[in-house]
Amino acid sequence: MGRSASGGALSGVGETLPSDSAASSSGVTAVLLMAMLVAVSSVSLWFALSPGPKEPTDAEWSAVTAHIGSRIEPGDALRVHPFWLREGGAISDAIQASLGANAERALPVDFSVPLDPLELGAFRRLWLVSAFGRDDAEAPPGATLEDTTAFPGGLTAQLYALPESPVRLRLIDALTSAQVQRFGPNVAKRDCRWMGDRHACRGRPWEDVAVAVHEVGGAPRTCFVLHPYPSGGTVVVRFPAVTLDAGVIIRAGFTLDATKSDQGSDATVRVKLDGAVVLDRVAPRNLWAFVPSFIDTASRRGQKADLAIEVTAVREDFRDLCVDGFVVSRPVPEAMR
């Protein structure tokens, strides 16, 4: 009995010891977890309160502007990263002034994300300016880095040589010689007239056709807006005697205001070559995307054809469709994303 009682007591003591050890271990673990939580919270608070990289001063931006301005050439493009920096426009204006009034074309600040390979096709070189010490800017596919210069204030200027462009014609460059016409149900055909910077259609302002920058699919796009009017009406832009190559890329999408509107209908986009329909698709009413379409014309390479883009909508309210197009010497997969 005693042995049994003693054994039971000892057994009881033996069972109690692991419990005390577990409690002690749990306490240590809790303290460690608390310490880790405090450490993580402190680091998070430090990052939250940290001012981050200092914004470059005007003098530091001026140094970059002077550097690029002394080496800029017609046919160069400029991109500022991050794309939302307001200083990008000021840099562009200052550098454009160094090119002079007779530059071949205006030097743009490309704010689009990602880089648009078709828009870059109009240029030979790209200046990429990065701020805040960031080095995650996207370089164009196939571009060759020629020079990198670091400046105070976390600024870097890189010069890239761009690969030979597949673009043989940008339709926005040919808009001045295009023909614009409007017609609709019970409405006679009406020809618009080029008036310096637009095809004036002698009607409401949104009937005119001109090159402009619009927010489409999450990025600014340089395009011409086609607004069918009246409801059920059609607007046509015809490019005469276009020299064909491997293909034609047509991109179209509603502007931001159009996609947000609860008015209007889907739009139909048709492309014709010498009167034959080669593309017929619907642009959904609230789809916010710049949708590309490739038209294979390799069998007609070197031939001339009249290329027409037609846009029609059953209900025309807020139907501002941003359109651009390119004749290309080869398919451009990265432009079709």
pTM: 0.72
Is the Cβ–Cβ distance between 220 and 290 less than 8 Å?
no
Q: Which residues pair with 183 in a beta bridge?
A: 234
Q: Which residues contact 292 (CB under 8 A, 6 or more apart)?
A: 249, 250, 251, 335, 336
Task: Find the distance separating the first CA and the last CA of the chain, reported in whole Å.
Answer: 87
Alpha-carbon distance 78 to 128, whole Å? 6
Lowest mean pLDDT across 17-26, 223-232, 277-286, 308-317? 17-26
Calpha distance 83→63 (Å, rounded): 19
User: Is residue 7 predicted with pLDDT exceeding 60?
Assistant: no
Identify the pLDDT of residue 267: 92
Q: Are strands 193-194 and 167-170 parallel, antiparallel or unpaired?
A: unpaired
What CA–CA distances, in Å, run from 150 to 67, 177, 243? Answer: 11, 44, 44
Average pLDDT, the chain: 80
Q: Determine the Cα–Cα distance for residues 111 and 115; give it in Å rounded to an integer.
A: 8
Joined tokens for residue 104 = 């071949």
One-letter amino acid at 34 equals M
Q: What is the pLDDT of residue 78?
A: 85
Name the band, by pLDDT with cuts 50, 70 and 90, for residue 30. Answer: low
Residue 102 contacts by C-beta under 8 Å, 6 or more apart in sequence? Answer: none
Asked whether the predicted pLDDT for residue 252 surpasses 70, the reply is: yes
pLDDT band (50, 70, 90) for residue 327 = very high
Q: What is the pLDDT of residue 76?
A: 86
Q: If residue 168 lies in a helix (H) or strand (E), which one and from where to where?
A: strand 167-170
Averaged over 192-212, what is the pLDDT? 89
DSSP structure class, residue 162 = P
Tell me how far apart the alpha carbons of residues 181 and 16 are, in angstroms, rounded to a whole number: 95
Residues, the chain, total? 337
